[in-house]
């Protein structure tokens, strides 16, 4: 059994700490927010993640998992200290905000009184291992205390994070201290996964390159989807046909509203920023980001095509979180869609199984007027009186709705399937004006002539003039 400290109790920190405890280690999770720690001690988790609540309860009851706000208590006799704090986008150019990592490094240094291995679990820019080393060495209360630094990037998907930790495709470790890396590797031996040991910079880069590649697959299939719509092909069948090729694979080839969440958006931006700082021009990364943003505008274009002016319309949103099985609203497509349709005079009715409160808080921070939004108790409440429904998040329950009843409740039967969860022919048979993503069934292309500039939020009269001009042109 190893004694482990985890700094940070967000998605990465709480899942990592809990799963390491479940492997038989003694784990103390440290967070500087007293309210969060107090709630964790009471069994109330700050995030929604399938399977995590039960895992926390089991390991707390077994005496293997502890929570504290004290670095001194958290680091007591620790063999390994994981830094698992947030690294949000920190500059207008997309660089990562390292202040929480730096603060954690200082907190560790001030209380460290024995040899331990400090492990960067947070997604950090290339070279951050050196930064942590310098900060710890500079701030050690006892300068003679030795320590090691290892990079161990996480590859956890929200909504399946526990499963991903327990069944990893690989474990990546990087360090200039081979012995320290080997010791960290022993923590993961029970998982029987491939372990890649390399240098610090390479390990840090593996994380960014992996996320950027997956984001590229998503943007690629979304661009193919737009071509499919124009040429009459079905992107779902195209993706299936592509996916049988072992060189390509089926994963991350689902056309839709693009990627969101806490990882892909900020990691692609951060990698592009690092490349620019190194004097490079990362053209593909910029294209990936632009295509991703365009997918959200496309939804509003489809609404305009089918409804005309959105002034006075009620738009229903099925789902708010950026993906199913999470309440995370970071970079969620729903935010942009709500901003744009309300800027054109529409009101919104929305439902999400778990993200309602998170969405409310996020929209307040985004300064989106909540008086334009009604948070509903279920999907049928959303449909009641709506002029259009938009599937934003592919929660399983939306696939099994009573669609004739949904059709009956709506004022106008417009259905925009942003995740392609329904069959176009069946929805048309039920009387819906249906539009999917890349399904080759767009009808008129008038609304698709909307440019990026014209779809940006702007004063309402100008928006309406732009839309009317484009519609008449079609």
DSSP string for residues in 101-116: HHHHHHHHHHH--S-E
CA-to-CA dists, residue 198 to 59, 88, 171, angstroms:
32, 26, 11
DSSP assignments along 425-474, one per residue? HHHHHTT-EEE-SSSS-----GGGG--HHHHS---HHHHHHHHHHHHHH-
Check if the beta carbon of residue 215 is closer than 8 Å to that of residue 288. Answer: yes
Cβ atoms within 10 Å, residue 93: 12
Q: Give the active site residue among 19, 29, 228, 263.
A: 263
Residue holding tokens 């240094």?
109
Taking the CB of residue 433, how many other CB atoms lie within 10 A of it? 17
* Closest CA relative to residue 464, chosen from 298, 310, 256: 310
Contact 304, 297 (CB under 8 A): no
Pair of tokens at residue 441: 């069934």
Backbone angles phi, psi at 3, to 5 degrees: -100, 125
228 is catalytic: no
The phi and psi torsions of 256 (rounded to 5 degrees) equal 180, -135
Strand partners, 147: 116
Distance of alpha carbon 377 from its chain centroid, rounded?
24
Enclosing H/E stretch for 433: strand 433-435
Note the residue count of the chain.
Answer: 474
Neighbouring residues of 401: CB distance < 8 A, sequence distance ≥ 6: 379, 380
Q: In Å, how far are 64, 158, 159, 160, 163 from 21, measured between CA atoms?
A: 6, 20, 20, 18, 15
**Residues designated catalytic:** 263
């Amino acid at each position: 059994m190893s004694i482990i400290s985890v700094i940070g109790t967000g998605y990465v920190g709480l899942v990592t700490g809990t799963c390491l405890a479940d492997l038989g280690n003694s784990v103390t999770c440290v967070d500087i927010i007293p309210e969060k720690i107090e709630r964790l001690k009471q069994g109330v988790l700050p995030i929604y993640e399938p399977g995590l609540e039960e895992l926390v309860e089991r390991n707390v009851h077994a005496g293997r998992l502890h929570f504290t706000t004290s670095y001194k208590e958290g680091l007591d006799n620790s063999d390994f200290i994981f830094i698992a704090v947030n690294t949000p986008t920190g500059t207008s150019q997309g660089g990562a905000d390292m202040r929480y990592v730096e603060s954690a490094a200082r907190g560790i240094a001030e209380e460290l009184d024995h040899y331990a291995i400090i492990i960067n679990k947070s997604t950090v820019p290339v070279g951050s291992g050196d930064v942590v080393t310098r900060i710890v060495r500079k701030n050690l209360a006892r300068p003679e205390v030795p320590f090691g630094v290892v990079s161990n990037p996480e590859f956890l998907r929200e909504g399946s994070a526990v499963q991903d930790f327990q069944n990893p495709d690989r474990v990546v470790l990087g360090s200039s201290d081979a012995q320290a890396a080997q010791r960290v590797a022993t923590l993961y031996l029970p998982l029987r996964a491939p372990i890649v040991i390399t240098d610090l910079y390479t390990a840090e880069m593996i994380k960014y390159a992996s996320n950027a590649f997956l984001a590229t697959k998503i943007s690629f299939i979304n661009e193919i989807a737009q071509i499919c719509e124009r040429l009459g092909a079905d992107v779902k069948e195209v993706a299936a046909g592509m996916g049988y090729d072992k060189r390509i694979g089926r994963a991350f080839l689902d056309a839709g509203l693009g990627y969101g969440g806490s990882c892909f958006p900020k990691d692609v931006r951060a990698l592009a920023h690092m490349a620019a700082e190194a004097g490079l021009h990362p053209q593909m990364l910029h294209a990936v980001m632009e295509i991703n943003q365009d997918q959200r505008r496309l939804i509003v274009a489809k609404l305009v095509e089918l409804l005309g002016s959105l002034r006075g319309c009620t738009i229903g949103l099925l789902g708010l979180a950026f993906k199913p099985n999470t309440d995370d609203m970071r970079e969620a497509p729903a935010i942009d869609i709500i901003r744009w349709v309300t800027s054109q005079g529409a009101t919104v009715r929305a439902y999400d199984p778990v993200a309602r409160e998170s969405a409310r808080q996020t929209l307040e921070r985004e300064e989106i007027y909540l008086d334009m939004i009604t948070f509903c108790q279920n999907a049928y409440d959303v449909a009641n009186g709506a002029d259009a429904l938009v599937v934003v998040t592919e929660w399983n329950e939306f696939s099994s709705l009573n669609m004739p009843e949904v059709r009956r409740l709506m004022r106008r039967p417009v259905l925009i399937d942003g995740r392609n969860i329904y069959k176009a022919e069946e929805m048309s048979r039920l009387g819906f004006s249906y539009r999917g993503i890349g399904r080759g069934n767009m009808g008129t292309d008038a609304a698709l002539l909307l440019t990026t500039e014209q779809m940006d939020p702007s004063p309402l009269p100008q928006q309406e003039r732009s839309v009317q001009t484009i519609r008449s042109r079609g």
